[in-house]
């Protein structure tokens, strides 16, 4: 359980987050939505201790302020918005960094194939030998996700849930890979882990999330299941736009929703060791 | 029977993917490179022991010592002196300084997340030199208590202090919230180097004739003055920095993803950066203190190895130390033979290799940089 109590963040003299309190349970996928500059990424960064904050954040009862970097790395993995590398690492070398993280001491031989399985999970099989810098933005994003998955491969370890923090995990992806990545996150939650994801696509959020957190101007405006948060009044207020939930466009104007995907179940590998 | 078979299948480790070497895994190449480089270093060490102006031969000394050959006792005594008191310390100093300079370049590149960072380029060497010049010029007056207390370590410790101060300032100036601005880093390095050079210049201006002589010999960038005392003074500091760097490989790998991500991967980033800066300053400072400025080792060696075995620091770090040592020994051997019986300052040789090499890196990477 991630418990946040009275969280506030001030950056460069500006108050970015104001008195945020909520809890995100393991086994659930929580999506953070809100307009640009509403503090979504800042919220995630505070959870990762990237920013100084006031208030209290705890993971499974442990205050994160008192955690060593190693303990934190063992409990949660973080997908950044984007990452460029100054040196020519291969895709496999990047993903393998996640295998090391949070696992001090010698690695068992069983972990050797983990990067390959993670790359398969994000639909990049056979990309191991490619140079990270040569990939497209969307491919790089999925390589980073594979690295993150390696860090917390088992959603529950020794009876303790682990967490994925995803900052706009599908921002550079095409529709198919948006679905693949959200499926990965969904399965992680279904297997007992917790997922906290910043999402811009309200349809994907509605389709995959158990709970939505709506932020506007650094405040928590709404928190609850999609059906409760995605209403005309809430969405209209949060995004300051006259939106209507569930309204279809005029006849003859095509629209495509991710919910309509009739893709065969992707052949992802089971979440094991 | 069937039950046992099934149990075995279930208990067997997952050898499927592990058995096959994974694509993009260059660790075997890295290990192979380290073995090859150990061989190269041994060859370079042997070459360094057997080349020199005197014509003394370590080989003949060895065969005599083992009683395989007979010879003139006086020549033998001369060879003995040359090999043990001149060539051996020079070779050992070359190994220490070559490894120290190459590794401090690599550490700096990892810390700044930039392949162009090098203690010589961004003013750390100048800061170290300022420390050394300060001890040489002021060692008998203002700094007398310090030099007396530190003895033979005064010069390397002062150079270490100068290097540490410069690196710390540089890091403060060039890095904001974990991101290093490349242009800021290089420009701040130039400014710091110029400042340190100016203060060194003032010190040189007030130096006495005897001190000027010391300064000139020291500043030539040469292994020629290698003595056992210098090895005793600088050796432990460089060796300590090299040993410390061995524990930094995983953290440097994580740091290439950025400071925030390194922290998410479990690296205690602030402490890690402090240790890295200390190691850079120690290795650079001690090297500069005993050999003056020898440039480009820290740029050429790591870059060349990255092209061959990739940037994984677990293999890149030891390989860089080994190739750095070999590179400096070979450059030293060249500097001793190219204009024999005189010798060229080794800094000229490394710069003659390093300058064009640096330009080549820039040309290759021009497309990738936007500054």
pLDDT at B103: 95
Within the 115-154 window of chain B, which residues sit less than 8 Å (CB to CB) from chain A?
A: 115
In the numeric block, which tokens belong to residue A13? Answer: 């003299």
Distance CA A177, CA A146 (A): 13
B368 belongs to a structural domain:
no
Q: Could you report the per-residue pLDDT of B130-172, keeping only the tens digit for each?
A: 988 888 888 878 777 877 887 777 888 888 888 889 988 888 8
pLDDT of residue B118: 83
C-alpha B23 chain-centroid distance: 32
Indicate the angle between helix axes B124-138 and B209-219, nearest 10 degrees: 150
Asked if A74 and A48 touch (Cβ cutoff 8 Å), the reply is no
HEC per residue, chain A: CEEEEEEEEEECCEEEEEEEEEEECCCCEEEEECCCCCCHHHHHHHHCCCCCCEEEEEECCEEHHHCCHHHHHHHEEEECCCCCCCCCCEHHHHHHHHHHCCCCCCCCHHHCCHHHHHHHHCCCCCCCCCEHHHCCHHHHHHHHHHHHHHHCCCCEECCEECEEEEECCCCCCCHHHHHHHHHHHHHHHHCCCEEEEECCCHHHHHHHCCEEEEEECCEEEEEECHHHHCCHHHHHHHHCCCCCCCCCCCCCCCCCCHHHCCCCCCCCCCCCC
Q: Does residue B52 register a pLDDT over 80?
A: no
Cα(first)–Cα(last) distance of chain B, in Å?
70
CA distance A233 to chain B (A): 37
Of B13, B24, B368, the CB nearest to A129: B24
Taking CB atoms and an 8 Å limit, are A129 and B23 in contact across chains?
yes
Residue B207 lies in a domain: yes
Mutation target to probe the B interface, by most B beta carbons within 10 A, among A92, A100, A112, A152 is A112
- Residues of A with Cβ-Cβ distance to B16 under 8 angstroms: 113
Q: What domain range is B142 assigned to? A: 76-363
Are the beta carbons of A113 and B16 separated by less than 8 Å? yes
Do B115 and A87 make contact, defined as CB atoms within 8 angstroms?
A: yes
Number of domains in chain B: 1
Distance, in Å, from the CA atom of A129 to the CA atom of B320, rounded to the nearest integer, reads 23
Q: What is the pLDDT of residue B148?
A: 80
List of chain A residues whose C-beta atoms are within 8 Å of the C-beta of residue B306: 87-88
Beta partners for residue A76, in sequence order? A163
Residue B287 inside a domain? The answer is yes
Distance CA A1, CA A193 (A): 10
Tell whether the model's pLDDT for residue B347 goes beyond 90: no
SS3 B292: coil
B residues 3-42 lying closer than 8 A (beta carbon) to A: 13-14, 16-18, 22-26
Q: Is B306 on the interface with A (CB under 8 A)?
A: yes
Q: What is the pLDDT of residue B177?
A: 65
CB–CB contact B263 A92 (8 Å): no
Partners of A69 on chain B (C-beta within 8 Å) are 263, 266-269
User: Which residues of chain B have a CB within 8 Å of the CB of A11?
Assistant: none
For residue B115, list chain A residues with Cβ-Cβ distance below 8 A.
86-87
* pLDDT at residue A238, as a whole number: 94
- The reply to whether B12 falls in a domain is no
For the stretch B196-209, pLDDT in tens is: 989 988 998 888 88
Residue B32: inside a domain, yes or no? no
Residue B63, pLDDT above cutoff 70: no
Residue B266, chain A, CB below 8 Å: the answer is yes
Tell me the per-residue pLDDT of B357-367, one tens digit each, with 9 for 90 and over: 878 877 876 55
Q: If residue B65 lies in a helix (H) or strand (E), which one and from where to where?
A: helix B58-65
Q: Do A128 and B267 touch (CB under 8 A)?
A: no
| Interaxial angle between packed helices A91-100 and A114-121, expressed in degrees from 0 to 180 and rounded to the nearest 10 | 110
Q: B182 falls in which pLDDT band (50, 70, 90)?
A: low
Q: Please judge whether B257 and A97 are an interchain contact, meaning their C-beta atoms are less than 8 angstroms apart.
A: yes
Q: What is the pLDDT of residue A81?
A: 87
C-alpha Rg value of chain A to the nearest Å: 19
Instruction: Give the confidence band of B10 by pLDDT, cuts at 50, 70, 90.
Output: very low
Q: CB-based contacts of B333: which residues, under 8 Å, 6+ apart?
A: B44, B47, B48, B51
CB distance B16–A110 less than 8 Å? no
- B261 and A83 in contact by Cβ < 8 A? yes
What distance in Å separates the CA atoms of residue A185 and residue B164, rounded to the nearest whole number? 45
- Res B6 pLDDT > 70: no
Is residue B37 assigned to a domain?
no
Place of tokens 């005309």: A232
Contacts of B253 in chain A (CB under 8 A): 97, 100
- Nearest by CB to residue B13, choosing from A93, A110, A128, is A110
B-chain residues near A89 (CB < 8 A) = 256, 310-312
Nearest chain A residue to B271 by CA: give it: A69
CB spacing of A48 vs B260 below 8 angstroms: yes
Q: Are B38 and B322 in contact (CB under 8 A)?
A: yes
Confidence of residue B54 (pLDDT cuts 50, 70, 90): low
Cross-chain residue pair B266–A48, CB shorter than 8 Å: no
B260·A68 Cβ contact <8 A: no
Residue recorded with tokens 């109590």: A5
Is A69's CB within 8 Å of B266's CB?
Answer: yes
- Decide: helix, strand or coil at residue B226: coil
DSSP E strands in chain B: the ranges are 175-176, 179-180
Residue B114 at interface with chain A, using a CB cutoff of 8 Å: yes
Give the model's pLDDT for residue B221: 63
Whether chain A has a CB inside 8 Å of the CB on B161: the answer is: no
From first to last of its 273 residues, chain A has per-residue pLDDT tens of 999 999 999 998 899 999 999 999 999 999 999 999 999 999 999 999 998 999 999 999 999 999 999 999 999 999 998 788 889 999 999 999 999 898 887 788 878 899 999 999 999 999 999 999 999 999 999 999 999 999 999 999 989 999 999 999 999 899 999 999 999 999 999 999 999 999 999 999 999 999 999 999 999 999 999 999 999 999 999 999 999 998 989 999 998 888 888 654 544 444 443
Q: Which CATH number fits domain A2-260: 3.40.50.1000, 1.10.645.10, 3.40.50.300, 2.40.30.10?
A: 3.40.50.300
The predicted-structure confidence for B301-328, as pLDDT tens digits, reads as follows 999 999 889 999 999 999 999 999 999 9
Q: Omega into A216 within 30° of 0, i.e. cis?
A: no
B256 and A CB contact within 8 Å: yes
At B338, which CATH number?
Answer: 1.10.3470.10
Contacts of the segment A175-178: beta carbons below 8 A, 24+ positions apart: A175/A256, A175/A258, A175/A261, A176/A263, A177/A122, A177/A123, A177/A138, A177/A142, A178/A204, A178/A258
How many CB contacts within 8 angstroms connect chain A with chain B?
110
The single-letter DSSP state of residue B67 is T
| DSSP states of B85-137 | IIIHHHHHHHHHHHHHHHHHHHHHHHHHT-TT--TTTTTHHHHHHHHHHHHHH
- Supply the pLDDT for residue B208: 85
Residue B356 neighbours by CB under 8 Å, 6+ apart: none
> pLDDT class for B371, splitting at 50, 70, 90?
very low
Interfacial B residues in 308-347 facing A (CB < 8 Å): 310-312
Indicate if the pLDDT at residue B16 is higher than 80: no
């Amino acid at each position: 359980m991630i418990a946040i109590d009275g969280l506030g963040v001030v950056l460069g003299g500006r108050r970015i987050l104001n008195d945020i309190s909520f809890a995100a349970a393991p086994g659930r996928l929580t999506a953070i939505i809100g307009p640009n500059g509403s503090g979504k990424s800042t919220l995630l960064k505070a959870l990762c201790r990237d920013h100084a904050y006031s208030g209290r954040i705890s993971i499974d009862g442990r205050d994160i302020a008192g955690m060593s970097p190693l303990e934190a790395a063992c409990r949660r993995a973080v997908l950044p918005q984007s990452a460029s590398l100054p040196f020519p690492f291969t895709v496999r070398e990047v993903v393998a960094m996640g295998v090391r993280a949070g696992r001090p001491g010698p690695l068992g031989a069983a972990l050797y194939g983990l990067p390959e399985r993670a790359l398969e999970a994000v639909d990049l099989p056979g990309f191991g030998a490619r140079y990270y810098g040569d990939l497209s933005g969307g491919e790089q994003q999925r390589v980073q996700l594979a690295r993150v998955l390696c860090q917390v491969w088992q959603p529950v370890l020794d009876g303790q849930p682990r967490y994925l923090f995803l900052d706009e995990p599908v921002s550079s992806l095409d529709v198919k890979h948006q679905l693949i990545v959200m499926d990965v996150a969904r399965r992680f939650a279904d297997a007992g882990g917790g997922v906290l994801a910043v999402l811009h696509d309200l349809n994907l959020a509605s389709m995959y999330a158990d709970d939505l957190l709506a932020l506007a101007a650094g405040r928590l405006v709404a928190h609850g299941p999609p059906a409760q948060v995605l209403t005309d009044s809430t969405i209209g207020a949060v995004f300051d736009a006259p939106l209507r939930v569930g309204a279809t466009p005029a006849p003859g104007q095509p629209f495509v929703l991710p919910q309509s995907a009739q893709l065969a179940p992707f052949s992802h590998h089971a979440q094991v060791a | 029977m069937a039950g046992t078979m099934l149990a075995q299948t279930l208990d067997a480790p997952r050898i499927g993917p592990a058995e096959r070497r994974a694509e993009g895994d260059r660790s075997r190449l890295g290990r192979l490179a380290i073995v090859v480089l150990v061989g190269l270093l041994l060859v370079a060490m042997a070459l360094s022991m057997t080349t020199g102006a005197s014509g003394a031969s370590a080989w003949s000394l060895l065969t005599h010592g083992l009683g395989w050959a007979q010879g003139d006792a006086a020549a033998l005594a001369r060879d003995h002196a040359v090999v043990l008191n001149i060539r051996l310390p020079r070779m050992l100093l070359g190994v220490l300084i070559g490894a120290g300079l190459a590794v401090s370049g690599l550490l700096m590149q990892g810390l700044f997340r930039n392949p162009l960072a090098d203690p010589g380029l961004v003013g750390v060497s100048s800061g170290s030199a300022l420390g050394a010049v300060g001890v040489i010029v002021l060692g008998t007056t203002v700094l007398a208590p310090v030099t007396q207390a530190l003895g033979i370590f005064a010069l390397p410790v002062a150079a270490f202090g100068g290097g540490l101060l410069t690196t710390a300032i540089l890091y403060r100036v060039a890095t904001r919230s974990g991101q290093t601005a490349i242009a800021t880093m290089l420009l701040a390095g130039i400014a710091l180097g110029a400042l340190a050079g100016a203060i060194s210049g003032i010190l040189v201006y007030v130096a006495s004739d005897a001190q000027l002589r010391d300064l000139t010999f020291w500043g030539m960038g040469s292994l020629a003055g290698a003595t056992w005392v210098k090895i005793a003074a600088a050796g432990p500091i460089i060796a300590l920095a090299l040993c410390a760097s061995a524990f930094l490989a995983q953290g440097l790998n994580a740091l290439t993803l950025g400071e925030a991500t390194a922290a998410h991967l479990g690296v205690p980033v602030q402490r890690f950066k402090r240790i890295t800066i200390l190691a850079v300053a120690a290795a650079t400072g001690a090297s500069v203190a005993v050999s003056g400025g020898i440039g480009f080792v820290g740029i050429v060696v790591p870059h060349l190895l990255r092209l061959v075995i990739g940037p994984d620091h677990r293999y890149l770090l030891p390989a860089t130390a080994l190739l750095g040592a070999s590179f400096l020994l070979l450059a030293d051997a060249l500097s001793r033979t190219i204009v024999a019986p005189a010798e060229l300052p080794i800094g000229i040789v490394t710069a003659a290799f390093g300058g064009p090499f640096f330009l080549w890196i820039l040309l290759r990477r021009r497309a990738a940089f936007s500054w």
